[in-house]
Chain A
Amino acid sequence: MPRPPTMLDISDLKVFYGPIEAVHGISLCVPEGQCVTLLGPNGAGKSSTISAICGTVKTSGSVKFLGQDLANTDVEDRVRAGISVSPEGRRVFSNLSVEANLLLGAGIRRDRDAIRADIERWFRTFPILGDRRRQMAGTLSGGEQQMLAIARALMSKPRILLLDEPSLGLAPRIVSQIFEMIEQLKQDGMTILLVEQNARQALRISDYAYLLNTGTIQAEGPASSFGQNDELMAKLTGLG
């Protein structure tokens, strides 16, 4: 089977926080329609990589999206190009209503009626959010906030969805629900870059995986072979 065309192509990416280098020249690619997972412990540089793709940190190296170098583009350009993120720690806008959070996700769009229709669509998909549309997002449960964060990321109609630790701090039953939701998105054709510590669940729905540690890529391969590498899995689940 031929590999699908590459959507996101990162090479020799370094991320800097002032004088400190957090990611030391990593290369990875996300093919269209696939789900790629970035595994690794705390402080491995996973979130820094996500921020680099979004354009919110200082970087060197190249990030190419649909063949275009993103070097001189700002955050807004990247959202417009089709990159959308559900940030770590379910960062919803807690003092705004559920509905306003979704509206914000559509900040770059101007098609008012379609935005309204999309919001209603998400409320049908997640009735629990629909029931609480006027409630402050901060009053939702952890799982609900994560659903909202993902739905909000989808409001910009992205080509690629970056999910930063969607299972963080959630009860196992809720984690399974969130992964089902991600799997559904993938089946609908969404390209996903997933950052996770929960290796087993992430590998189950992924096509390809990278293991990141202390800012470098230490292993990569198809998700299925990752799962069969007992030594690696022991290490990963130990970390997760």
Chain B
Amino acid sequence: MSPFLAGLLQLLALVAALGLAYRPLGDHMARVYTSTRHLRAERWIYRAIGADPSAEMRWPAYLRAVLAFSFVGVLLLYALQRAQGLLPGSLGFASIDPDQAFNTAASFVTNTNWQSYAGEQAMGHLVQTGGLAVQNFVSAAVGMAVAVALVRGFARTRTGELGNFWTDLVRGTVRVLLPISVAGALALVACGAVQNFSGIHGVGQFLGTTQQWNGGAVASQEAIKELGTNGGGYFNANSAHPFENPTPLSNLFQIFLILLIPTALTRTFGRMTGSLKQGYALLATMAVIWTGFTALMLWTESAHRGAAFEIAGGAMEGKETRFGIAGSALFAVATTLTSTGAVNSFHSSYTGFGGGITMLGMQLGEIAPGGVGSGLYGMLIMAVIAVFIAGLMVGRTPEYLGKKIGIREIKLAACYLLVTPALVLGLTAVAMALPTPRESMANAGPHGFSEILYAYTSAANNNGSAFAGLAADTPWFNTTLGIAMLLGRFLPIVLVLALAGSLAEQRSVPATNGTLSTHKPLFSGVLLATILIVTGLTYFPALALGPLAEGLAS
């Protein structure tokens, strides 16, 4: 069997597994976010927070709660790293420098998990398990909460109320993320991922020498790293490290975890808005992009164009033997079409076009299927834009799910679309114009430019993967990438919640003969075209200077 065929079969296996989980998980999440019952443990948590879980919030209140919770998260994670050297459970590692601690705190709270440190030599048990992994849970739960608030905006009429942030946060964590993570972590241990709290210790080697290892709660962090589309590895090599991702089966399972919640949320959306078909239409667009990108990636990596790969006879630089081209290509596409950013192979050593595919995946806004929550709200923004464009073409007031897309709504959606490109292209331009940032490049020519374009694309879209040759642990990159992550996360959230509030206030417009059917394949096609055209127009010049130039020259 050729690796290409094996890759296609793995893709089919993923489709089947995601299909099996789609209904039960999507319906479960719909119940989680609509139920009026509170679990006993949850009541205890609400009492500790001092929040009334049944109190409804309008969008400004919901937003303030999101921002307050995230602000405290950045502060606490920063403090924890700065104090690491003084605290127990640090393996004796020193405190983290201010710029790197800020970068890492911003990174994990924004669900980005960009890492300018190498885990095994910098972060002890306390920071990894009590700080970073906690944000893996709660940043994912925040994303889901915001998405659900937007769905409520479509589902509810003549009210400004979007639900209760604390309830959504706690339920998402306790009823969705935790149970799946426990099962997922144990499955990963069964494959060989480590799970212990041992200190740094020597392990004997075949020829009599020893290797120094540190243990850690790796599997438990790994499960939520993928499930919450976070992506921050316990070790520097992330999911290429055999202790994080030991076998081909664990690899496929990790890709499954990455895609699980973002795809199932389209079902939750359909359930909550009363039309499952609306969810299927979004899912169809996501699926077409995902399978298309995966097929392209399998092709370009198998063709291994590029001088070094042609001499070697295959693009295996930065790839693990057990995953091969196929297992690596599948992972790379899944991680960049979501906001994950975990890697099982190093994108910087992909072919020119392969690197371009990973960048374009993020630049689409990570919506196919996207991050947990952020994928759904990103896709819904694109749906609003698509409805608007279709409305212009036929000269009717655009409507989506019975809500009029008026001036205020389209302004908010358009601003959402502008945030990340402005950050990515603006900061890339500034970094390229300054002398010092360019000294961080590991490769020359178009690939060097790609390293910087990739870094800002990854940060502003909250992905976290990298063309990791770039020496990013400098005050410039730590600071600007940290700011890009914060603005790239929270400005869109402000706009999404404002949109949700304005939609929830509207009354529902009854569908007529002239209403565009947004649950049909035609709409999925319009949505797909909108996404590709908007992203293409925005990023083509930058991509042409980097990965396209590299790919065409090889």
Interaction A to B = no
Please give the residue numbers on chain B whose beta carbons come within 8 Å of chain A beta carbons, in ascending order: none
